[in-house]
Amino acid sequence: MRAMIFLLAAILIGLGGGYAWSQWSKPSAAAAINAKAAAIPSAKPGQTKADIEQTEYFEDCDAAEKAGKSPLYEGQPGYRKDLDPDDDGMACIPTS
């Protein structure tokens, strides 16, 4: 009887662990966004957030996405309030 319980426990742990690993091992969209946020350049002495944002210009979000720069974060080159309709500091968020 004990052997059956141990066998059943091993099967359940094996199945549950495999499922959990498959979910945790996938790179998430949030991780990609956070990694890109860390790539925001640091300001030079005397340079403001607005100065950094104006160093690059994108006509619209499609142009930013084609350049591989989306999403744009506040303080990052190319960010404009015009591209951020919900005013959360993130513009041109990819939908897919």
Kindly tell me the sign of the dihedral angle through the C-alpha atoms of 31, 66, 59, 62.
Answer: negative
Higher pLDDT, residue 22 or 68: 68
Output the pLDDT for position 59: 92
Same domain, yes or no: 45 and 75: yes
The pLDDT of residue 73 is above 70: yes
Is residue 35 included in any domain, yes or no?
no
Output the pLDDT for position 60: 92
Q: Is 74 exposed, middle or buried (0-12, 13-18, 19+ CB in 10 A)?
A: middle
The tally of domains found in the chain comes to 2
Same domain, yes or no: 23 and 44: no
- What is the residue range of 4's domain? 1-28
Output the pLDDT for position 62: 92
Is residue 60 included in any domain, yes or no?
yes
Q: Give the pLDDT band (50/70/90) at residue 11.
A: confident
Same domain, yes or no: 50 and 22: no
Tens of pLDDT, residue by residue over 30-65, are 566 666 555 555 667 877 878 887 888 999 999 999
Residue 9 region by backbone torsions, left for phi larger than 0, else alpha for psi between -120 and 50, else beta: alpha
Is residue 34 included in any domain, yes or no?
no
Same domain, yes or no: 4 and 44: no
Same domain, yes or no: 57 and 96: yes
